[in-house]
Structure formats: C-alpha cells, structure tokens
C-alpha cells in the first residue's frame, strides 16, 4: 500500500490510512466530483473526500515521475501498472486515429487495484492438476475481479519450486507477464514470488513472449494471464508442438463463454487442456466453483 499512498494527494492518502483497514483494501475508486470509494475485505467504504480533476492530474504526474509522455502507451491501453504491481485503470475521452486510440484526455475517473500475494491460495487446486507427480495442462476461468491472476501466481510459484507432498519436482516455468501484474517486475526485479525456476518476460505481447520462451529458454511449462486472441491460440499450438505444458487464465463464467473466444473452444475439443478451473467471488476472490477433468475426446455442444 505504501507504493499507492505515495502516488495519491496527501489528504486523500491520509483519509484512506485513517479508515484503519488498509491490509484488506483491494480497490480504490476515484471519480471527479464524487466521494472516493474504498473496497476493503469485500465491503464498500465511502470516503468523506470528494475527488477533483486536480487530484487525478496529480496522480498521473506522480505515476509518470513528471513525464506523462513516458506512460502514454499505457494510458492509451486504459491502465498503468505502478511499482508493486498495482494497476491504475483510467477513464476519459478518447482521441482516435486510424481506428486506434491515440490518446485519452479529460481523464475523469480511476480505479486502483491493489496487488497482493496470497501464498498458498492454490493449495486446494494443486492435487487436482498434478497426478502421479506430473502436471497436466490447465485453464483457469473466471469473471474479472475473482482472483484468477492471484491464483495463477501461486500455481506458478508452486510448479516452479516443487511440491514434495505431491511428489512433484519443480520445473522450469516461462511466465509471460504482459501487463506486469503477475510477477510485478520493476527495474528487472520481480516484486512478487513466482518461484525459483521461473523465467519472466514482461511488457511483451503474450503470443510473442510464448514463442520467445519456447525458442530460447528450454522451459517445461508456459504460464500467462487472460488468453483469448487468435494470435494467442497460434502461439499456444506452437508451444504444444514443442512439448511444453500450459497453465493459462481467461475471462468467463462458464463453457459458453469459453467457446465464444476465438480458437479456445477448439483447443478444448482437441484435448489440449486436461483441467478447467472455474473461479468466482461467491465467498471472496478465488472461490473455486468447480474443477473439471477433461478427457482427450472431450466434446461440448454449446447452444
């Protein structure tokens, strides 16, 4: 939280500190002309502090270290990842050029999502994705905000370090951290523990990162967050042909959502994934709704 507080206006930071539950904070929502909102341990707390346009500009300046131009590409993507892996989402008026976002001006709201490591949160999942000391390809599916990135981080850590209780020896894991949220790399050093045998490519498109890891690092497992594009699918199939195992996440609630994503449903039917883990927020982020074991001839008709 200290990394977040130092990027906030002092009065706003002090009020959030004074609510006394900073260890449970998961989101800070700031909207111009509205009172700030803090989400802590699943409870919404309405601040007395009313957000101004100047507040948001001050945050941007601090995040960019007085050079907003340096984070322009991040702004155009709708969020900035700051030291510690915390993600600052932004909304405003977009400026378009050739069908692409060239700039976001008149920024009027921010959502600061707090990055936290929950060591051991994947303990209940590991016996289902490791059998006889071997890991099998796994897809984690959940709506936004249900803990899939946190879960992925802990799975990667355990796959990398090894799990003696499951007779699983640690393997070389290649992590493609496209948005810098999983390992939270800053100046070449990861701020969160993703295991002793994990190699990280950050701020790189997932498809390119996967191909680079397969070609250059001699890895056993590839991990990345939020797959879903045709290019991702091509890179995944390339990794499969190279004998690499897979652990990925994607947005969704059920099988119908999986089949809406380009090429993902076909991979299920082709037997690429052995395990599908569905998460929700039912009892807090990271609630495991179910874990399905898929056979090589798995076929699902989605109407």
Is 154 in the same domain as 16? no
**In the predicted structure, residue 299 carries a pLDDT above the cut 70:** no
113 phi/psi in degrees, rounded to 5: -100, 125
pLDDT attached to residue 100: 79
Question: What CATH number is attached to the domain comprising 259?
Answer: 3.40.50.300
Neighbouring residues of 92: CB distance < 8 A, sequence distance ≥ 6: 104, 105, 106, 107, 108, 109
Q: How far apart are CA 246 and CA 101, in angstroms?
A: 32
Tokens of 39: 């989400």
pLDDT category at 301 given cuts 50, 70, 90 is: very low
Q: Which of 56, 83, 113 is the last residue of a domain?
A: 113
Q: How far apart are CA 63 and CA 61, in angstroms?
A: 6
DSSP 3-state of 16: helix
Tokens of 247: 């652990």
Asked whether residue 217 is assigned to any structural domain, the reply reads yes
Q: State pTM to two decimals.
A: 0.79
Asked whether residue 50 is assigned to any structural domain, the reply reads yes
Per-residue pLDDT, averaged over 20-26, amounts to: 78
Tokens of 291: 């874990």
Q: How far apart are CA 78 and CA 41, in angstroms?
A: 25
H-helix segments, the chain: 2-5, 10-18, 53-63, 72-77, 126-129, 148-161, 206-216, 230-241, 255-260, 264-269
Mean pLDDT of the chain: 90
For 259, 277, 294, 302, the CA distances from 299, given in Å and listed in that order, are 11, 17, 9, 10
Q: How far apart are CA 152 and CA 286, in angstroms?
A: 10
Asked whether residue 121 is assigned to any structural domain, the reply reads no
Q: Which of 113, 140, 163 is the last residue of a domain?
A: 113
Is 239 in the same domain as 99? no
Is 78 in the same domain as 145? no
Handedness of CA 270, 286, 3, 192 (dihedral sign): negative
Q: Which of 113, 148, 169 is the last residue of a domain?
A: 113
pLDDT category at 291 given cuts 50, 70, 90 is: very high
Neighbouring residues of 73: CB distance < 8 A, sequence distance ≥ 6: none
301 phi/psi in degrees, rounded to 5: -90, 120
pLDDT attached to residue 190: 85
pLDDT category at 264 given cuts 50, 70, 90 is: very high
For 105, 146, 278, 288, the CA distances from 282, given in Å and listed in that order, are 36, 9, 12, 9
Domain count for the chain: 2
Is 250 in the same domain as 157? yes
**In the predicted structure, residue 298 carries a pLDDT above the cut 70:** no
Is residue 110 a contact partner of residue 75, using CB atoms and an 8 Å limit? no
Is 68 in the same domain as 170? no
Domain enclosing residue 55, as ranges: 2-113
pLDDT attached to residue 303: 31
Tokens of 101: 């976002």
pLDDT attached to residue 283: 87
Is 70 in the same domain as 193? no
**43-50/35-40 β-pairing:** antiparallel
pLDDT attached to residue 80: 83
**In the predicted structure, residue 102 carries a pLDDT above the cut 80:** no
Q: pLDDT tens digits, residue range 204-246?
A: 899 999 999 999 999 999 999 999 899 999 999 999 999 999 9
């Amino acid at each position: 939280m200290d990394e977040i507080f130092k990027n906030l206006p002092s009065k706003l930071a002090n009020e959030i500190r004074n609510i006394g539950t900073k260890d449970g904070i998961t989101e800070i929502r700031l909207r111009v002309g509205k009172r700030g909102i803090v989400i802590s341990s699943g409870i919404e707390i309405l601040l007395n502090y009313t957000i101004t346009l100047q507040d948001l500009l001050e945050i941007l300046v601090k995040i960019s270290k007085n050079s907003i131009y340096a984070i322009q590409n991040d702004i155009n993507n709708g969020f900035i990842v700051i030291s510690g892996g915390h993600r600052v989402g932004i909304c405003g008026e977009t400026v378009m050029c050739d069908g692409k976002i060239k700039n976001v001006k008149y920024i009027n709201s921010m959502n600061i999502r707090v990055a936290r490591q929950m060591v051991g949160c994947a303990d209940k999942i590991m016996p289902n994705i490791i059998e006889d000391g071997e890991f099998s390809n796994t897809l984690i599916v959940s709506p936004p905000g249900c803990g899939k990135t946190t879960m992925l981080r802990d799975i990667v850590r355990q796959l990398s370090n090894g799990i003696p209780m499951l007779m699983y020896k640690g393997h070389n894991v290649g992590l493609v951290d496209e948005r810098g949220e999983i390992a939270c790399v800053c100046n070449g050093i990861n701020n969160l523990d993703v295991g002793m045998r994990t190699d990280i490519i950050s701020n790189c498109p997932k498809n390119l990162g996967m191909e680079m890891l397969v070609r250059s690092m001699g890895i056993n497992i590839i991990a990345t967050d939020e797959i879903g594009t045709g290019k991702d699918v091509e890179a995944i199939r390339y990794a499969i042909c190279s004998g690499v195992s897979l652990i990925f996440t994607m947005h969704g609630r059920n099988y119908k959502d999986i089949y809406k994503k380009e090429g993902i449903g076909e991979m299920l039917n082709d037997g690429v994934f052995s395990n599908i883990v569905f998460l929700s927020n039912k009892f807090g982020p990271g609630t495991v709704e179910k874990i399905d074991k898929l056979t090589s001839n798995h076929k699902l008709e989605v109407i």
